[in-house]
Amino acid sequence: MHILRVKTTTREQLVDITREVETRLARSGKSEGICTLFVQHTTAGLTINENADPDVSRDILAALRTLVPNNGMGFRHGEGNSDAHVKSSLVGPSLAIPFSNGRLALGTWQGIYLCEFDGPRDRKVVLSIG
């Protein structure tokens, strides 16, 4: 079990953590199995999406903001970040990614992203290689 630390810089952001995950996997020396990622926060999530055109990340955040605006849904939670909690549950906290020959079995255009919905903050992602 390893902890990846991710520093976000704005309220909403998709941070590509693929390289960090690949590096930890390589260090583990394991060849085949499942890499499990788990974010230890309730206003952030983990997703996999396109890593080529940065407009895809931008469009994902924009769509989520349209669906779940920061205000206007009658939220009661006093911290003013209920939208981030909702987005966190929509995207989800965990990913299971197979690996083979020591490499993640990602598709050509797939990158692994930490989804920040209430930053900037310091985030932790638990990485388990089994």
Shortest separation between residue 51's beta carbon and its own copies, angstroms: 8
- d(C-alpha 37, C-alpha 125), whole Å: 7
- d(C-alpha 96, C-alpha 110), whole Å: 14
| Residue 105 touching its own copies (CB under 8 A) | yes
Q: Of 4-12, 20-28, 37-45, which segment contacts its own copies by CB under 8 A?
A: 37-45
Chosen residue from 15, 91, 114, 119 binding its own copies by CB under 8 A: 91
Q: Of 4-12, 22-30, 90-98, which segment contacts its own copies by CB under 8 A?
A: 90-98
Q: Of 4-12, 20-28, 94-102, which segment contacts its own copies by CB under 8 A?
A: 94-102
- d(C-alpha 37, C-alpha 41), whole Å: 12
Which residues between 9 and 28 bind its own copies (CB under 8 A)? none
**Residue among 87, 106, 90, 89 at smallest CA distance from 98:** 106
User: Token match 């890499």: residue?
Assistant: 35
- DSSP string covering 108-125: TTEEEEEEESS-S-EEEE
Q: Are 116 and 47 in contact (CB under 8 A)?
A: no
Sites of contact with its own copies (CB under 8 A): 1, 32-34, 36, 38-42, 47-50, 53, 55-56, 58-60, 62-64, 66-68, 73-79, 82-83, 85-86, 88-98, 100, 105-110, 124, 126, 128, 130
